[in-house]
Structure 1
Amino acid sequence: MGTITFLLVLSFLVFFHELGHFVAARYFGVKVHVFSIGFGKQLFAKEWRGTTWQFSLIPLGGYVKMKGQDDSNPALIESGDDSYNTKKPWQRIVILFAGPFANFLLAAILYFSIAIMGASTFAAQIGTVQKDSPAFHAGILKDDLIVRINEHEIKSWEDIGKIIVNSQGALKFYIKRDNKLIAKTINPHISDSQNMFKEKIKKRMIGISPSGKVVQLDLSLSESLVYAYEKTIFSSTMIFQGVQKLIQGIIPSSEIGGVITIGKVISDASQSSIIALFTITALISVNLGVLNLLPIPALDGGHIMFNIYEMITKRKPSDKVFMFLTIAGWVILGSLMLLGIYNDINRIFLK
């Protein structure tokens, strides 16, 4: 059942990505010959409105084959208003960007659905108070519930961190303790900490940690939209930064996961709850969008760079350069996939 869920989720993500390309291409009048979920041998196909819609043998990806675009033959020139290579560079960029954008849009839709169904988060309840910290000296106790900071209502533990980090000076905390509301003024101090990539940083803190209690957020329609937007932006930023840290060597290459890890994560989430499955699917969708925007020639980001080059220089890269960079891009992608599978196998046998 887990394998079926994995294939369904992956096919859905690929479909949405390629649908972005398809819609943008058709908007600019480009003919789409093939819309494929998967690569390799054709398993099922149906022609509809001039496009062959098909499922192929290897379900780890997909593509839309447009008139006038063929990475294996960069010298291909097909004339006509319905050809990709007769479109202006900015129009081609829109077509290329539409795929990753569709992934970001899908993630936002999933996060919005999660918010409507009942997103859960850590309660703003204190678990521990660090000795000699600002919170300790202010008289904050274990199990205190923070309901407001200054004029900001607190709904989750995440709200507390945001306000402390993005504020200056002392803050007025309103604490619920034994059904009584107590006001405490706390002046955060700059302390050593770690970010999600385990880098040492300094940030404003008051010396508290959550109790671990989980609560369900009761969000209005507008708050659900904000939740979806913020979650999509946060996950996108996190993945962009993760790629940057990987290149810098801050994150070891052993952390790269492959299809086995992805499949296990999706399978575990599907057995947990629909919200867990939606959360993982949204994160993978954002991941797919971000990775496709990397300036690697075989990806959408690489093709966008080629078109930006054409816009600036008023000429296309030579066929020889285009072919060389595209092959190099596929080598990079293939190497990353093999590394991911190698790491997956290592994790299995090192358990």
Structure 2
Amino acid sequence: MGMIVSLLVLSGLIFFHELGHYLAARYMGVYVEVFSIGFGKKLFSFRKFDTEWSISAIPLGGYVRMKGQDDSDPTKKSYDEDSYNTKTPLQKIFILLAGPGANFILAFILYFFIALGSPNVLSPVIGQVLKDSPAFIAGLETNDTISSIDGVKITEWKEMADMIASSEGTLNLEIIRDGFIEYKLLTPKLRESKNMFGETIYKKMIGIGSAGVTHPLELSVSETFSYATEQTIFASTMIFTGVKKLLFGEVPAKELGGVISIVKLTSDATDSGWMSVLFFAALISVNLGVLNLLPIPALDGGHIMFNVYELIFRREASEAIIIKLTIAGWVILFGLMGLGLFNDVNRLMG
């Protein structure tokens, strides 16, 4: 079941990405020859809206083939009125941005529905208290609930952690213990920690761990829009930062995952319920949007790069350079896919 859900989620995200390109191309008057989910041998196809719609055997991507634009052969061009090649650089950039844009919009919609479903968030209930930590010295105990810090009401563990990390000096904590309110003064200390990328960092902490208690997040309509916006921006920023760190060697290449990781994580999310599947689908959707904006010639970002060149210098990049860079782009892509697959297999083998 998990495998089927994984393939459906991945295919759905690819469909929306390509649909963005398709709709933008049609809006710009470009004839779309093929809309395909998957690569390789065609399993099923039909013709509608003057376009061939197909599902192919390898469900690891998809493509929209426009008249005059073919990544497999950059020399195949057409200068008919309904061709991609006759459009202005800005029109082509609009078509290219529409794919990643569709992924970001889809992620926002998914986060919106997640918010409507009242997702569970960690409550500020203390579990472990480290010995000799600021919390230990101040007398905080397991099962204490932190209700406010310096008079600011706290409802989530993340709010509390962010306030502590950005604090200056001594904090006044209001806690609830056995139904009674108590006040504790303490000063956070810099401690070694790990961030989401596995890097060693130093941040202000008080030496407590979560008890794992959760509560549903009840949001108004305006708060639901804010939640979806914040989550989409956070996921986008996180993935952009992760890609940058990977490219600059700040994160080891062994952290790169491939399609096996995506399928496994989606399968695991399926076991945890529909809310987890939506969370993961939104994250992967943002991932697809970000990765396709990378300036690699075989990706949308690479084509955008060529069109920006044409926009600035008022001429197309030479065909020879485009061909060489496109080949290099495919080499990079297949190399990254191979590395991701290699890492996935290593993880599975322990």
Cα distance in 1 between the residues matched to 2:296 and 2:93: 15
Hey, what does 2:236 align to over in structure 1? 236
Letter in 1 for 2:5: T
Cα separation, partners in 2 of 1:269 and 1:198, compared to 1, 3 Å: closer
Alignment of 1:44-55 (within 5 A): 44-55=44-55
Hey, what does 2:28 align to over in structure 1? 28
Q: 1:85 aligned to 2:62?
A: no
Q: Deviations over 1:109-148 (max 9, x none)?
A: 1122122112112211111333443333433322111122
Shift of 1:185: 4.1
Hey, what does 2:336 align to over in structure 1? 336
Where do 5+ consecutive residues of structure 1 fail to align? none
Cα distance in 2 between the residues matched to 1:271 and 1:133: 37
Cα distance in 2 between the residues matched to 1:101 and 1:198: 29
Q: 1:41 aligned to 2:41?
A: yes
Hey, what does 2:216 align to over in structure 1? 216
Hey, what does 1:262 align to over in structure 2? 262
Hey, what does 1:207 align to over in structure 2? 207
Alignment of 1:270-281 (within 5 A): 270-281=270-281
Shift of 1:16: 0.6
Q: Deviations over 1:251-273 (max 9, x none)?
A: 32222222222212212221221
Cα distance in 2 between the residues matched to 1:201 and 1:347: 25
Q: SS at 1:193's partner residue?
A: strand
Hey, what does 1:298 align to over in structure 2? 298
Letter in 1 for 2:346: N
Moved more, 59-68 or 219-228: 219-228
The sequence identity of aligned pairs, in percent, is 55
Q: Deviations over 1:139-187 (max 9, x none)?
A: 3322111122345332211111222334444443322222123333444
Q: 1:314 aligned to 2:303?
A: no
Hey, what does 1:346 align to over in structure 2? 346
Hey, what does 1:108 align to over in structure 2? 108
Q: SS at 2:349's partner residue?
A: helix
Where do 5+ consecutive residues of structure 2 fail to align? none
CA contact (8 A) 1:189 1:206 kept: yes
Hey, what does 1:178 align to over in structure 2? 178
Cα distance in 1 between the residues matched to 2:337 and 2:77: 32
- Could you state the TM-score of these two structures normalised by the residue count of structure 2? 0.92
Shift of 1:63: 0.6
Q: Deviations over 1:51-103 (max 9, x none)?
A: 22211222111111112212233334423443222222122112111111211
Letter in 2 for 1:334: F
Q: Deviations over 1:287-343 (max 9, x none)?
A: 111111111110111111111111222211111110111111111111121222222
Hey, what does 2:134 align to over in structure 1? 134
Cα separation, partners in 2 of 1:124 and 1:27, compared to 1, 3 Å: same
Shift of 1:346: 2.4
Hey, what does 1:162 align to over in structure 2? 162
CA contact (8 A) 1:155 1:217 kept: no
Letter in 1 for 2:4: I
Hey, what does 1:119 align to over in structure 2? 119
CA contact (8 A) 2:199 2:251 kept: no
Q: Deviations over 1:9-31 (max 9, x none)?
A: 11101101101111222222222
Cα distance in 2 between the residues matched to 1:73 and 1:337: 21
Letter in 2 for 1:156: E
Q: SS at 1:74's partner residue?
A: coil
Cα distance in 1 between the residues matched to 2:192 and 2:342: 36
Cα distance in 2 between the residues matched to 1:165 and 1:21: 42
Letter in 1 for 2:207: G
Cα distance in 1 between the residues matched to 2:242 and 2:67: 36
Moved more, 46-55 or 170-179: 170-179
Q: 1:19 aligned to 2:19?
A: yes
Cα distance in 1 between the residues matched to 2:153 and 2:81: 56
CA RMSD of aligned residues (A): 2.0
Hey, what does 2:7 align to over in structure 1? 7
Cα distance in 2 between the residues matched to 1:343 and 1:191: 31
Moved more, 264-273 or 66-75: 66-75
Q: SS at 1:68's partner residue?
A: coil
Q: SS at 1:40's partner residue?
A: strand
- Could you state the TM-score of these two structures normalised by the residue count of structure 1? 0.92
Shift of 1:219: 2.0
Moved more, 315-324 or 212-221: 212-221
Cα distance in 1 between the residues matched to 2:51 and 2:34: 5
Cα distance in 2 between the residues matched to 1:2 and 1:204: 40
Shift of 1:206: 2.6
Cα distance in 1 between the residues matched to 2:192 and 2:5: 42
